[in-house]
Each structure stands twice: as structure tokens, then as C-alpha cells.
């Protein structure tokens, strides 16, 4: 029976699994019914395991944003596709993938709606001080000191979206419904979009009350929100980040907040996760979230369907979904 099982497994497409040791993805069993999963962490000698199977591996499934270096790619001479489970691809050696013609898919629209929901939630929280007000009530200060300070209205705010991709577009859709004025910065102007376009983020900040940071992290976008941009946004400006922590110069942001030179921030991502600057903990105009914008069952169900679709499509020579542009 065991030999029969192994023979059957030889006919099943091979998928190389790349994941952190502490992470067990919940749909592994479902994937195993369709594919032969090669997971180096199941072997006592992962390096030998990779070398032994290297020539057979055409697809790599990257679970969680686990770094994929050029050294790992060099071990896989026949790799044709990396199926990612995150929106960002800053953990991949994109130049090597581009050079070798390795296709990459990401989570695409699977996460977009729920991430956009959290982005808007962070913004409302910062403007209205919901989390700070909850602490105010729980600590008993309401009874002792009276009314809580005024918040700020969302409707009518000038919203500058940094990165009008899948997530940024969903953010715009939601904030339009609140009566906000939308503008954006992106790699290129989108002809079908009615919003004002700014070719650089500084001009976007000058003309915005709020910056919603939704773009991918690349060499070009690292610290795209720097001290000049924060100064342009002004003392009442708000920054929301659901992209990657390093999109913002975090040290400068802390200085601006401590000195009262910016109105507030809502952050789901940080430069050195899970470490968060301690200066942020005592500020009521700061709302923090532990990189959990995608943490809903619906997100993971949609991701599972997308990953299985792309793996099946690859081995059936069908078009892939959520392909990443490698410019």
C-alpha cells in the first residue's frame, strides 16, 4: 500500500514550499490533495533536501512574506513560477526573477477589501479618537474630568492615496462614500480614474489633509514618506499606513509626532516588526495595529482559492491571476 501511495504521488505536480519554521498554513491538507508538497522543513537536512529535488522544482509557493534570496533561486535552475501569499513582494529578489523570466503572483484582490476596511477604520479612529476615548472611559477619567476633547470630521477631508492599486482603489471607493475629496500618486497616471493625479508625493501632501499609504515597498518607495513630505502635510495632517513599515521614515515620523508637528497616524505596519517605537505608546493621536489588516477568515479563504487556482492554472498551461509586473 505504501509503494502504491508513492507511485501515485509521482504523478502529482510538485510544489516547493517556502515558509518560516513557526508558520503552519491552514490549507496545507487541501493543497496536498492536488499537489505533491515539497517542504524542506519536514526534512532534518533542509539544504540537502533542496539540492536533491532542485531539478524537479518548477513552482515555489511562498507562504508568509519569507525572504527568497538569489542564493535560494540559484539552487532551483528550472524554477518558472513563484506563487506568493502576500500583497508585497519586497521579500523577493525581483531583479533575479526578472533576469531569469520567473513569473510571480501575489495575493492580488484577495486581501484588498479587508485591508481597505482597516485603513478607513484607522483613519476614523485617529480623527475621532475612538481608541483613546475608550481608554479615557475605562480609566475612570470621564467621571473625574468631564467631557472628552473634540474630534475631527471625516467628510470633506482631502485624501491623498499613495499607490492606487487594488488596495488603494478600494480605499478611494470607501472614502468617496464619506464625501472625501480623493487625489493620488502612483507610478503612472491612470486614464480611467477621475481623481486628481500628482506625479510626486510631495505635491500630493501639499494638497492633502490625509495620506493613505497603500503602495508596494521597492527601492524607489523606501522612505517615500520622509520629513519633507511630513512637513508638507502640516501640523494637522494625518498619515495612515497599510503598506509596509519602511515606506515611512519611522524615526522622522516619531520626531514629528513628539514635537506636535503632525496631527496623527494610524499604523498597521512598522519598519522593524514586531518592534514598535516606544514613544508611540503614550500618544493619543496614534493608533496601532499588529500588521493584522488581512487577518480575517474571508481573506484567508479568498487567498486559498487564488493559490489553488494559480497552481492548477500553471500545470494546465492556463493564464495566471494576480501576476506581478516586473518592470
Active site residues: 244, 273, 291
Contact 217, 244 (CB under 8 A): yes
Backbone angles phi, psi at 292, to 5 degrees: -120, 20
Longest dimension (CA), the chain: 75
Helix 130-138 to helix 112-128 angle, to the nearest 10 degrees?
A: 60
The residue whose grid cell reads 475605562 is 138
Rounded CA gap, 54 and 74, in Å?
10
Backbone angles phi, psi at 288, to 5 degrees: -115, 140
DSSP category for residue 216: P
**Strands of 158-162's sheet, edge to edge?**
196-197, 181-185, 158-162, 210-213, 238-241, 264-267, 286-288
Nearest partner of 185 among 163, 211, 207, 165, judged by Cα: 163
Amino acid at each position: 500500500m505504501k509503494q502504491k501511495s508513492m507511485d501515485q504521488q509521482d504523478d502529482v505536480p510538485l510544489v516547493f514550499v517556502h515558509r518560516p519554521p513557526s508558520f503552519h498554513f491552514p490549507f496545507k491538507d487541501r493543497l496536498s490533495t492536488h499537489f505533491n508538497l515539497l517542504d524542506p522543513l519536514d526534512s532534518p537536512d533542509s539544504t540537502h533536501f533542496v539540492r536533491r529535488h532542485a531539478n524537479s522544482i518548477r513552482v515555489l509557493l511562498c507562504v508568509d512574506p519569507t525572504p527568497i534570496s538569489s542564493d535560494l533561486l540559484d539552487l532551483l535552475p528550472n524554477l518558472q513560477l513563484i506563487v506568493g501569499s502576500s500583497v508585497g513582494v519586497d521579500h523577493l529578489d525581483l531583479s533575479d526573477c526578472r533576469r531569469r523570466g520567473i513569473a510571480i503572483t501575489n495575493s492580488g484582490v484577495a486581501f484588498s477589501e479587508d485591508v481597505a476596511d482597516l485603513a478607513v477604520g484607522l483613519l476614523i479612529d485617529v480623527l475621532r479618537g475612538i481608541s483613546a476615548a475608550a481608554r479615557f472611559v475605562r480609566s475612570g477619567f470621564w467621571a473625574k474630568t468631564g467631557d472628552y476633547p473634540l474630534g475631527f470630521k471625516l467628510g470633506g477631508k482631502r485624501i491623498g492615496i499613495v499607490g492606487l492599486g487594488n488596495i488603494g482603489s478600494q480605499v478611494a471607493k470607501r472614502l468617496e462614500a464619506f464625501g472625501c475629496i480623493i487625489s493620488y500618486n502612483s507610478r503612472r497616471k491612470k486614464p480611467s480614474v477621475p481623481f486628481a493625479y500628482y506625479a510626486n508625493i510631495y505635491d500630493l501632501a501639499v494638497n492633502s489633509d490625509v495620506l493613505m499609504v497603500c503602495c508596494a515597498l521597492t527601492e524607489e518607495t523606501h522612505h517615500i514618506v520622509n520629513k519633507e513630505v511630513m512637513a508638507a502635510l502640516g501640523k494637522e495632517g494625518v498619515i495612515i499606513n497599510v503598506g509596509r513599515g519602511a515606506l515611512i521614515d519611522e524615526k522622522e515620523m516619531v520626531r514629528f509626532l513628539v514635537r506636535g508637528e503632525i496631527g496623527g497616524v494610524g499604523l498597521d505596519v512598522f519598519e522593524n516588526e514586531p518592534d514598535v517605537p516606544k514613544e508611540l505608546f503614550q500618544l493619543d493621536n496614534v493608533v496601532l495595529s499588529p500588521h493584522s489588516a488581512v487577518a480575517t477568515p474571508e481573506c484567508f479563504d479568498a487567498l486559498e482559492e487564488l493559490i489553488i487556482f494559480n497552481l492548477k492554472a500553471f500545470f494546465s498551461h492556463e493564464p495566471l491571476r494576480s501576476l506581478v509586473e516586473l518592470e
